[in-house]
Structure 1
Amino acid sequence: MTGFNPLDLALLALAAAGAGVINTIVGSGSLVTFPTLLLGVPAVPANMANTVGLAIGNVGGVLGYRRELRGQWRSLAPLIVLTVGVLGLTTADHLQRANAAKNVLQTIAGVVATVVFIIVAPLPWTAIVIIAVASLLGSGPGAMIGRRLPGWLLRTLIIAIGVIAVIALVR
């Protein structure tokens, strides 16, 4: 189901590791992995592989931010569709706690999508495994970097990545 050569697989692994860092810090790691997947997978299976692989990688972001998640578990359930930007605007919590919550919500949404995708369609498992492992490896350093960023820089990165995502979507 995939048309990757060894170089494409190596690029996918690098992109996924970068996405693990990016997703843990600000989200939008798909901006890196999805175009790379298109080197060897048609768009719809690429979207599914991206979602499933990064959902597994997001677990590392949750683990990396577990200290900031203390006391938040009960309030996370109704917030599944919110992103860190909305959390940052609507909560009095420190931005790092909102980012930790974002990582949990991102993981939950990815797991739900993964279950649906497994049921409804064949998946490109080679690509998924590469994304899952590499993004999981990237999420640890992502949490270490993200937790050290001052609030103003984290907010700036969130805005910049958001603008890049909007431009990529409307192009």
Structure 2
Amino acid sequence: MDRLVPPAHAVTPVEMAAVLLSGVVGGALNTVVGSGTLVTFPVLLAVGLPPVTATVSNALGLVPGSVGGAIGYRRELRGQRRRVLRLGAWVLPGGLVGAGLLLALPTSAFDTIVPVLVGLALVLVALQPLINERVRRRRGRTGRAAPRDGGPALRAGLALASVYGGYFSASQGTVYLSLLGAFLDEPLQRLNAVKTLLVGGVNTVAAGFFLFAAEFDWTAVLLVAAGSAVGGRTGAGLGRRLSPAVLRGVVLGWGTVALVLLLAR
């Protein structure tokens, strides 16, 4: 079967420009917040791609954005190699499972759970300072040190979130950031850097699977890829300049928009 699928009509220069721009914005948002798919996916649908083809093309196209974001956050990633590798061992298989589910299951199952998952993630992000403070006090009373990699609960949560990320990826980064913030006592910028790298890993695994098993449109992939590469690097520079409070506010603000869009689908 030919896996290269043309759009329903010839893509005009204006539509190509829209897809490219959506890649720039989506790549930047993925790095800063983690919901770039909610920008790129609707544009791909608008130019005539079927939903599954648009999802696959989007996953392939956003990989360079994650790479650019990780490069931009390389300073915050210093000293976290072991953590990234250990957590990556849990998220990558989840991404592969999610990619397989995209081709095997109807969308109705995930359409129900996705808004709930994103809503819970926003609550965790909002409560992160309070959760961290209470956890810190409890550890002070018991004398227990914080697990360097967050412990089994974090690994299990990231693995489950990665199944969803491999399936659709909208707000995947928001869910990751909420989990990392709840279980790791680290500055938000360092957590955002880890989130960016983990999301990139899941997207890469899913994209590799899609290359051999799913239908996609090369024009859309290349346009989103070119835009996201620029946006990812730009997003890292922007995110680094934001204070933790402002960054959390951006995550909550865009996450709320993402939740509304998901509920309206």
Which residue of structure 1 lines up, in the alignment, with residue 87 of structure 2? 78
User: Larger Cα Rg: Structure 1 or Structure 2?
Assistant: 2
Q: Is the 8 A contact 1:21 1:142 kept in 2?
A: yes
RMSD: 1.3
Cα offset, 1:91, TM superposition:
1.0
Gaps in structure 1 of 5+ consecutive residues: none
Asked whether 1:162 is paired with 2:162, we answer no
Asked whether 1:47 is paired with 2:55, we answer yes
1:68 to 69, 73, 76: 76
For residues 34-88 of structure 1, the C-alpha deviation after alignment (integer angstroms, 9 at most, x for no partner) is: 0000122111100001111012221000000011001112112325336112112
Matches within 5 A, 1:12-27: 12-27=19-34
Which residue of structure 2 lines up, in the alignment, with residue 144 of structure 1? 237
Which residue of structure 2 lines up, in the alignment, with residue 56 of structure 1? 64
Asked whether 1:7 is paired with 2:14, we answer yes
SS at match of 2:35: coil
TM-score normalized by the length of structure 1: 0.95
- Tell me the distance in 1 between the aligned counterparts of 2:194 and 2:177: 8
Q: Is the 8 A contact 1:55 1:106 kept in 2?
A: no
Cα offset, 1:117, TM superposition:
0.4
Number of residue pairs aligned between Structure 1 and Structure 2: 171
1:106 to 174, 188, 199: 199
- Tell me the distance in 2 between the aligned counterparts of 1:78 and 1:59: 17
Letter in 1 for 2:72: G
- Tell me the distance in 2 between the aligned counterparts of 1:141 and 1:114: 23
Q: Is the 8 A contact 2:56 2:215 kept in 1?
A: no
For residues 113-136 of structure 1, the C-alpha deviation after alignment (integer angstroms, 9 at most, x for no partner) is: 001101112320110011011110
Which residue of structure 2 lines up, in the alignment, with residue 119 of structure 1? 212
For residues 142-165 of structure 1, the C-alpha deviation after alignment (integer angstroms, 9 at most, x for no partner) is: 111100001101001111222222
2:45 to 30, 38, 42: 38
- Tell me the distance in 2 between the aligned counterparts of 1:91 and 1:6: 46
Which residue of structure 2 lines up, in the alignment, with residue 29 of structure 1? 36
TM-score normalized by the length of structure 2: 0.62
Letter in 1 for 2:220: A
SS at match of 2:46: coil
Cα offset, 1:105, TM superposition:
0.6
**Percent of aligned pairs sharing the same letter:** 39
Letter in 1 for 2:29: I
